[in-house]
Structure 1
Amino acid sequence: MAVLQKVLIANRGEIAVRIIRTLDRLGIASVAVYSDADAAAPHVRMAGESVRLGPADARSSYLAIDRVIAAARETGADAIHPGYGFLAESAAFARACADAGIVFVGPTPAAIDTMGDKIRARAAVEARGVSTVPGIAEPGLDDAALVAGAERVGYPVLVKPSAGGGGKGMHRVDDAADLPAALVQARREAAAAFGDDTLFVERFVANPRHIEVQVLADEHGHVIHLGERECSLQRRHQKVVEEAPSPLLTPEQREAIGAAACETARSVGYVGAGTVEFIVSADQPDEPFFMEMNTRLQVEHPVTEEVTRIDLVEQQLRVAAGEHLGIAQHEVRTTGHAIEARIYAEDPAAGFLPTGGEVLQLRWPHGVRVDAGIERGSVVSSSYDPMLAKVIAHRPTREAAIAALDEALGSTHVLGVTTNVPFLRALLAEPAVLAGDLDTGLIDRDAERLAARPMPAAVLAQAGLALIERGGVGTRAWSSDGWRIAGARGASVRLTDGDGIATVTRAPGGVQQTDFAFVGGQHAMRDVELRVARADGTIEEVRSVERSIHPTITRDGDVWMPLASGDWLVEHARPAARARAGASAAPSLASPMPGTVVAVHAADGDVVAEGAALVSVEAMKMEHVLRAPTAGIARIHVAVGETVRRGQEVAAVEPDAEQDGASASDTTEGER
């Protein structure tokens, strides 16, 4: 690797950390770039050099081509690795690198252009004999043409943006009446995410499985594949768990789909590491349909690395340096099974809304691979993708790999940020997942059940006791609640329990053999009598709760509990929360997440029906539509482009006095 001396990583988070590790192993100098939000991020410290790009807004930092090129020139980097996301699939960025005399670690701009436009990509691979999903895919189709095409294709259909990927702007439509609205939303999402609102429509494949193939190609005409990955476990078209190899395919089917992937790469003269994605019906695995090609490294590339023992970043760097592929197709061997889970900053119990905050405590598992871009003290911002880390288990069999991954997730704790770890464990325990009977709709069909996580009384009890013993948060130490040197007895604390309030009380005189102390923040206790009174009037006595826990109490009096069942956030019931919990549903709308207002669907003063869309808020690449809780007059408190806090009121609906009067009049007349 004498040709490349210094590489700038035009990315952040876990992928930047992962690339730096390979650069260090190869003896290549590394340069990190960062926004103000990432000034203290791990990838910045790990790199040999670092350059500030700008403020947190990605458009002024990670997406600013001129600033990234300037950083490479300033540090003398002779190559730029784009990672994935941001500029990784930007043909304009690849051209800017070439114009500046800097090696772009990726394919040619022409290949990016073709594969970045799904309509052109379909035509290119069809010319090489690769099958595509039936649909209507032509440049410049307006909504009327798409509606007419969908009728010919037959429902259900998938609406897809021609540019971009990652499931953004993609919508399944089962009824013709719903297609016009889906097209409007898809165009808005595509324009916001990719700067291009071109759409096309495909037939929805029955019992679909998402299978992708990793390819490698050099500039000397050599193309190979490294086997396939099963990526069918998705939520709203976003991958959640990936594995290699696929439990669906036979050796013959595996060879055929690999050959189709190589033909796809040849169709655009591909150079570097890329992924060809196929949709495969579980009923007809002999007929894979090309979906798209990702002209970059994939998030799930570690599972391929684990089963092949090939460092894909190293291969990217070697190809970028002009070397021949050092691996022939017959030399590719896969061993065992690997499975990866993506850890997101999101709350599955709240509809998978993005979260954020400061990482107060952090513990990663041992015996598995962890690719992470956070550490204790990291602040998870709503400005970027919510993925925090990936946990990857590699074992001789699929069954052993799943068991190892589940065990690893059980010892993963990210306190301070609500994550999807418990959801991932519930997913891995699903009989269909264990049996390998997967499809892309599995999670969405059962998301509510898998995400359900009612808070056990024992969790509330431990959190309440932690608050009481730590110094009486919510109580007065010198009051008549029974305070002792060993701690308050008879004290109580109020905690939020879903939409209601739970009161945790330590029974006066009801403690036997208490052994409770703070040693470095650790609770060690037994036989503490606690009573949990919930909002629904139920009361539960809890004794002998988990002995060794490390609760973290925030400045606001909330408690983070790392337990074997996962991390729990138990919120202290503040006056405002108590008022909300005790009041009837108010006709106001608060943003469920920190983010940016991307659409306002009604004007202030409009008369709206119950369920009407009022405001759309976007955070971490996810759009959430806030709808009228009741019919009435809309009051809009925000504008497009405005940044909002979690819990900030963005709109309200006032009762329509005229309608109320008319209803009352009608009722009176009827009674007469």
Structure 2
Amino acid sequence: MTLFDTVLVAHRGEIARRIIRTLRALGIRSVAVYSDADAGAPHVREADVAVRLGPAPAVQSYLDGKAVLRAARETGAQAIHPGYGFLSENADFARACRAAGIVFIGPDVRALEVMGDKIRAKAQVAGSGVPIVPGFSAAGLDDAAIAAQAAEVGLPLLVKPSAGGGGKGMQIVGTLDELPEALAAARRVAASAFGDDTLLLERLIERPRHIEVQVLADAHGGILHLGERECTLQRRHQKVIEEAPSPLVDPAMRARLGAAACAAAASVDYRGAGTVEFLVPGDRPDECFFIEMNTRLQVEHPVTELVTGIDLVEQQLRIAAGEPLAFAQDDVRFHGHAMEARVYAESPERGFLPATGDVLTWRAAAGVRTDAGVESGSAVTADYDPMIAKVIAHGDDRAVALDRLDAALADTVLLGVDTNISFLRRLLADPAVRAGDLDTGLIDRMPAPEPDPPAADALAAAAAALPQPTTPGVWGALRGWREGGRREPRTVLLRDDADVLHRAVAGADAAADVAVDADGAVWVHADGATHRLLPVTREAALAERLADRGRDAGAESPELRAPMPGTVVAVHVADGAIVASGDRLVTVEAMKMEHSVTAPHAGVARVHAVVGAQVRRDELLAEVAAETREGTDDD
């Protein structure tokens, strides 16, 4: 039995590059697809053939199944690998591939349909003896009937869309009085995000751990598992750091989880690579409950690859080509420990707002695996998911892997776009994380992230990167000297992300990576941290000091600036309007996230933004001049 000659990769970014690597290693011709926003992306260049799908919006490109199939036919692709996200769990697309005579590298339509619906999935696996969280479907029930069943199941409850994923629409209900509002909110999000407002209610597991099991199943009845991954470190139901194996799981528990995962997959005659996810109660670690099955490759699959030595993409290809698994359960061996950190284009210090921009410098750390979707010169836009890279470290044990991951994050250089790298390092340093004492609420309990103060080396390197004022004539050519004496070291004023003004002395020999963006901000990576420093003239600094003196103690600045680069989608007040403290003035959208800037105090609004405008981060959007009182009796 032979593998495919040509495979189309229906994705972008780091996962497209990762799939292309395996295709190349197997001698299979690769076809990339791309949107207009990704015309210059690395995965386009690295594939053997690349086909344009359409404009930047995903619905007009990567989510356009007809365009993807057309590209496959035009290039002679025998199979399509969907990666994860986009079309990877779309049963209609899998059905269309089959009708076109093209192999969909994933499970069959029935498995996609059953496991894509949380209610059907729970009922399906429960019939095979897989433990499930107590709960019920709200399909066809009015709010009164839902409340009655909720009381029987017991509180607290988790309300979530049946058709959804990624934590969208989930609501926690502590009392029955909170239930009506939670149901309404969950239905709104479910209808908007998934086109289906059917809800599922489950008992909320207190302080849970999120543990998932990787399974492989072929078309000949072979099925096995490759151990578990700990995915407990999450923020708003989105995974941040994953590891394999779990520090909680011993061999006996691994066998129980693996058997349950294989039973869940077998219940739908699964074929390919899949992941069965479980919740483990913090107060009852000997129990586990099925959450869902992801019928695709997972973002965190590299940690399993590093501890087993098995290329999961290769296994997907071989299974899709009809080959039986070449090894049995007893042949699977686990070696050491692996940890993965997801690098997002976001600003943790600004409430984890998404970030965009041009990648001025990118350099991955040595000695670890980095799956990245960017390189120097790439553009991070607001069109797609903000995850831009994954850094994965392996060691003989968990402590070694954790230390190597932290060191690798410190050595990862990305200038030009805000990332969560500093936040990831703080998370890895948390005592509970280092001890492996995890639960899904750990990140939410951490203090709000604050910007790292720039070290002296970072300031010196940033100052040296700025244009040097020149002195005309021979004296300007003499280094260190000027007419009348020795030239003093050049000093500049730099404002950091905490709005702190620093006086920096230029030091050209400082060990740092430095780049200047189109807005004149200096990006510098030094001592394991990255900073964005904005040059400030002495005149501007003086004007700010004078303005501060004239402002009441504790009063906020009247200037309202864009918290992130994006599009102005709403201007809520007219220029010159009287506003109250907290009134919304302007709303900016980026990466499907809206953020409104509000009046810091009562006063007169001066609006500088217009709807539809593209704004840069920190661009002035509006000002609120405080109202003054005139003619009081105390004058």
TM norm structure 1: 0.82
| Residue equivalent to 1:593 | 564
Contact between 2:157 and 2:173, CA under 8 Å: does it hold in 1?
A: yes
Structure 1 residue matching 2:370: 3-state secondary structure? strand
Aligned ranges 1:11-410 → 2 under 5 Å: 11-140=11-140, 150-174=150-174, 180-410=180-410
The residue that corresponds to 1:502 in the other structure is: 501
Contact 1:30 1:48 in 2 (8 A): yes
| Partner SS for 1:571 | strand
Gaps of 5+ in 2: 482-486, 549-554
Distance 2:621 2:178 in 1: 27
Following superposition, the deviation at residue 221 of structure 1 comes to 2.4
* CA–CA separation in structure 1 for the residues paired with 2:609 and 2:92: 34
Q: Is the 8 A contact 2:571 2:609 kept in 1?
A: no
AA partner of residue 590 (structure 2): A
Separation in 2, partners of 1:197, 1:17: 35
Secondary structure in 2 matching 1:471: coil
Mapped contact 2:497–2:533 kept (Cα < 8 A): no
Match of 2:591 in 1: 620
Which residue does the alignment assign to 1:462? 460
Q: CA deviation at 1:163?
A: 1.6
Q: Is the 8 A contact 2:133 2:202 kept in 1?
A: yes
Alpha-carbon distance, 1:630 to partner: 5.5
Tell which deviates more after alignment, 163-172 or 331-340.
163-172
Query: Does 1:569 find its partner at 2:566?
Result: no
Distance 1:72 1:607, change over 3 A: farther
SS in 2 for 1:572: strand
Determine the C-alpha separation between the residues in 1 that align with 2:542 and 2:306: 50
Displacement of 1:648 in angstroms is 6.3
Q: Deviations over 1:124-161 (max 9, x none)?
A: 11222222222332325566655665555444432322
Aligned-partner SS, 1:164: coil
1:548 pairs, out of 499, 507, 511, with: 511
- 1:489 equivalent to 2:460? Answer no
1:574-630 CA-partner distances (Å, limit 9, x unpaired): 7999988957546786552344678x7989899998657787755335554656656
SS where residue 548 of structure 1 aligns?
A: coil
Structure 1 residues 183, 630: CA separation in 2 closer, same or farther (over 3 Å shift)? farther
**Over residues 489-531 of structure 1, what are the superposed CA-to-partner deviations in whole Å (9 max), with x where a residue is unaligned?**
365433223464515265xxxxxxx9x5xxxxxx31xxxxxxx
How much does 1:311 deviate? 0.8
Deviations 1:8-67 (A, max 9, x none): 000000100000111111111100000111111111111110000111111111111111
Q: Which one-letter code corresponds to 1:471 in the other structure?
A: Q
- Cα distance change on mapping 1:360 and 1:601 into 2, 3 Å: closer
Alpha-carbon displacement from aligned partner over 1:206-260 (angstroms, at most 9, x marks no partner): 1210000001112222221111000001111111110111110121111111111
Question: Using the alignment, how far apart are the partners of 1:155 and 1:633 within structure 2?
Answer: 48
- Tell me the distance in 1 between the aligned counterparts of 2:498 and 2:313: 47
- Any conservation in 2 of the 1:173–1:179 contact (CA below 8 Å)? yes
Q: Establish whether residue 471 from structure 1 lines up as the match of residue 468 from structure 2.
A: yes
Contact 1:249 1:285 (C-alpha < 8 Å) held by counterparts: no
Distance in 1 between the 2:151 and 2:599 partners?
32
- CA distance in structure 1 between the aligned counterparts of 2:387 and 2:45, rounded to whole angstroms: 20
Measured against aligned partners, the alpha-carbon deviations of 1:453-481 in whole angstroms (never above 9, x if no partner) come to 3413526632553255x414xxx7579xx
Name the aligned partner's letter for residue 459 of structure 2. A
Provide the C-alpha distance between the structure 1 equivalents of 2:183 and 2:472, rounded to a whole number of angstroms: 63
Q: Once the two structures are superposed, what CA deviation does each residue of 1:386-419 show, in whole Å capped at 9, x if it has no partner?
A: 1111111111111111111112112111111111
Deviations, residues 177-218 of structure 1 (Å, cap 9, x unaligned): 655555454444434433333332322211210000001112
The answer to whether structure 1 residue 557 and structure 2 residue 556 are counterparts is no
Tell me the CA shift for residue 171 of structure 1: 3.6
Distance 2:567 2:198 in 1: 24
Contact 2:458 2:525 in 1 (8 A): no
Of 96-105 and 552-561, the range deviating more from structure 2? 552-561
- Counterpart of 1:82, as a letter, is P
State how far apart, in whole Å, the 2-side matches of 1:103 and 1:580 are: 64
Aligned-pair identity in percent equals 57
Aligned AA (2:352): F
Structure 1: how far apart are the matches of 2:205 and 2:329?
A: 31
SS of the aligned residue for 1:461 comes to helix
Task: Specify the code of the residue in structure 1 equivalent to 2:228.
Answer: E
Measure, in 1, the Cα distance between the counterparts of 2:612 and 2:293.
32
Which range moves more in the overlay, 375-384 or 129-138? 129-138
Contact 1:460 1:570 in 2 (8 A): no
Cα contact 1:492–1:503 (8 A) shared by 2? no
**3-state DSSP of counterpart to 2:445:** helix
Residues paired across the two proteins, number: 619
Q: Comparing 554-563 with 601-610, which one deviates more in the overlay?
A: 601-610
Letter in 2 for 1:462: A
Asked if 2 retains the 8 angstrom alpha-carbon contact of 1:35 and 1:61, the reply is: yes
Question: C-alpha distance in 2, partners of 1:58/1:222?
Answer: 36
1:602, 1:634 within 8 Å by CA — same for their partners in 2?
no
Paired AA for residue 513 in structure 2: H
CA distance in 2, matches of 1:148, 1:631: 47
Answer yes or no: is the 8 Å Cα contact 1:173–1:182 preserved in 2: yes
Whether the 8 Å CA contact 1:229–1:244 is kept in 2: the answer is yes
Give the aligned residue type for 1:620: M
User: Given the superposition, is the C-alpha separation of residues 199 and 576 from structure 1 closer, same or farther in structure 2, using an over 3 Å criterion?
Assistant: farther
Distance, in Å, in 2 between the alignment partners of 1:612 and 1:181 is 24
> Do 1:466 and 1:551's aligned partners in 2 also have CA atoms closer than 8 Å?
no
Is the contact between residue 156 and residue 174 of structure 2 (CA under 8 Å) also seen in structure 1?
Answer: yes
How far, CA to CA, are the matches of 2:544 and 2:10 in structure 1?
Answer: 45
* 2:531 alignment partner AA: W
Structure 1 residues 650 and 275 mapped into 2: Cα distance closer, same or farther (>3 Å)?
A: farther
Do the aligned residues in 1 keep the contact of 2:451 with 2:497 (CA within 8 Å)?
Answer: no
Matched residue SS, 1:97: helix
1:270-289, Cα deviation, whole Å (9 max, x unpaired): 11111111111122122111
Partner Cα distance (1:483, 1:440) in 2: 61
CA–CA distance in structure 2, aligned partners of residues 453 and 91 of structure 1: 44
Letter in 1 for 2:503: V
Read off the aligned partner of 1:241 and give its amino acid letter. I
CA change 1:554–1:619 in 2 (3 A) is closer
Counterpart CA distance in 2 for 1:64 and 1:580 is 51
Residue 446 to residue 484, structure 1, CA distance change in 2 (3 Å): farther
